[in-house]
Amino acid sequence: MSWDAKDVALLKKLWAGGQSAGQIASRLGYSRNAVSAKLKRMGQKRGHKPPTANPRIVSVPKRRPAPLAACARPVDRVVSARKPMAGQPKEFTKRQLYAMLADAVRNTG
């Protein structure tokens, strides 16, 4: 299928109006690839750049070395600030396993 002057004029108008290649293709009866190729051959481009065209680069501040006084004395004992977790029982009874299975089946439906 060849492009006639009327289709090319409408293509330029719709493209300048901000419509996408897919929208123009459905209106003119061409494929989206045909519209994109014609626009490329005509040298048509959008008037804006994508937001990643000029990324803003931010430098990460350098880490300062730890002061030597903090490392001068060895630590006798390491104290953890975390609370101990309550552990699960290592073995379950048949009744507990059956109850857990029944709850799981109820929650899946």
Please count the helices (runs of H) and the strands (runs of E) in the chain: 5, 0
Q: What is the pLDDT of residue 53?
A: 61
For 22, residues 6+ apart whose C-beta sits below 8 A from its C-beta are 32, 35
94 pLDDT exceeds 80?
yes
70 pLDDT exceeds 60?
no
Packing angle of the helix pair 32-42, 5-16 (nearest 10 deg): 90
pLDDT category, 85, cuts 50, 70, 90? low
pTM of the model as a whole: 0.43
What confidence tens digit (pLDDT) does each residue in 12-39 have? 899 888 888 888 999 999 999 999 899 8
DSSP output for 47-62: SS--TTSSPPP-PPPP
The structural domains of the chain, with segments of one domain joined by +, span 5-42
Show the tokens assigned to 8: 């090319």
